[in-house]
Amino acid sequence: MKFPLKIYDNYSLVQKNTLGLPSIARYYAEVNSVAELQTALVFARERQLPVIPLGGGSNVVLGDFLDALVVHVNLKGRTVLSRDPDCVRVRAEAGENWHEFVLWSLDNQACGLENLSLIPGNVGAAPIQNIGAYGVELTDYFLSLEAINLETGLVEDFDRQRCGFGYRDSVFKREKRDQYIIVSVTLDLDVTLKPNLGYGQLGDLLARRLGNKSPSAIDISQAVCDIRREKLPDPSEVGNAGSFFKNPEVSQSEMDRLKQAYPDIVAYPLGQNWKLAAGWLIDQAGLKGVREGCVGTYQKQALVLVNHGGATGRDVLSFSRQVQQRVNDKFGVQLEREPRLYMEDVDKIIR
């Protein structure tokens, strides 16, 4: 069968992932519409190939060779669907850059995403990870999404309940893993700003800048960007995948144990439990700014693993395991990786 969509073989992905890892896809296609994506899925089904969706490439660790069809989801479009006195309903296609979408929403007097400014990646990846920062998560404003079923090629709707959101988690990382590709996301944003300033350095920075003046959504977005730029490396300069580990959750009894041993431990209440600052744990384990070969932790933020040049996916995975072991040895706490790992055997994804 002749396919109208351009599909490349033995395609280099080194420029398609923010860690800058060398990786070759057996097949690669860039899709700009739902119809093109459906065509790509037919190609993969006929050859019995796994399908790996790729957006901004910011939350993945790629192996040397991916025996699969890698699909770059490049669907574009941002729309204000409706507006009433309390809510602005917006829709974005999966290939839109997340940060540009946030700025667009603020330009359209739609508030809520300002704390999520400058998170790397595209809109389509946001629900998979249930991205969050500075006390706000995507689920707080999520209405629905559309996703293509890889087996049937049909578009299905997912509401919040069906997505099964959790902390940096969703049904797309669990029981629906590798079964769907997200093509659009719809959010209900606020007409009136409801500032969330109680997490991390954000409130302190805005107080220094504005005094007693109430911040605007733009003020909050700019402050978040400044904090992130100060702590996190630019992938165009230093290969990285952003925060590499989740902030671990512990029980009250476990928190009491840790607090007794480490009075300065950084943690935040989370219902009946506590969320620990993974970066602090890694730092206190003596791993901030450490380098082993081509891989290391960022000197300004231990939560970020960086490729100093020449690293492979296996190098990153090996170093991340050493970080997990050191933290577990010192604190008795197990860190969980955030990025999705695609190694050589794509049918045996390393979790």
Is 338 noted as a catalytic residue in this protein? Answer: yes
**Where does residue 63 rank: exposed (0-12), middle (13-18), buried (19+ CB within 10 A)?**
buried
pLDDT band at 350 (very low <50, low <70, confident <90, very high): very low
> Looking at residues 169-180, what average pLDDT do you find?
95
Please name which of 243, 179, 327 lies closest in space to residue 19, comparing C-alpha atoms: 243
Active-site entry in 243, 320, 337, 340: 243
pLDDT at 198: 85
Q: Please compute, for residue 270, the number of CA atoms within 13 A of its CA located in the half-sphere on the CB side.
A: 17
Active site residue 230: no
Task: Classify domain 78-190 by CATH number.
Answer: 3.30.465.10
The whole-chain average pLDDT of the chain stands at 94
Q: What's the topology of domain 8-73?
A: 3.30.43
Instruction: Please give the angle made by the CA atoms of 314, 311 and 67, to the nearest 5 degrees.
Output: 50
What are the structural domain ranges in the chain?
8-73, 78-190, 239-342
Q: Is 168 a catalytic residue?
A: yes
The architecture that CATH gives domain 239-342 is: Alpha-Beta Complex (3.90)
Condensed to tens digits (0 to 9), the pLDDT of residues 48-73 reads 999 999 999 988 999 999 999 999 99
pLDDT of res. 271? 85
Q: Do domains 8-73 and 78-190 have the same CATH topology?
A: no
pLDDT, position 229: 92
pLDDT of residue 1: 52
Q: Catalytic residue among 26, 168, 228, 340, which?
A: 168
**pLDDT above 70 as % of the chain:** 97
| pLDDT band at residue 2 using 50, 70 and 90 as cut-offs | low
pLDDT at 345 over 70: no
In this prediction, residue 236 carries a pLDDT of: 86
CB contact at 8 A, 339 and 303: no
Q: What is the predicted pLDDT for the residue at 343?
A: 83
Active-site choice (146, 320, 338, 340): 338
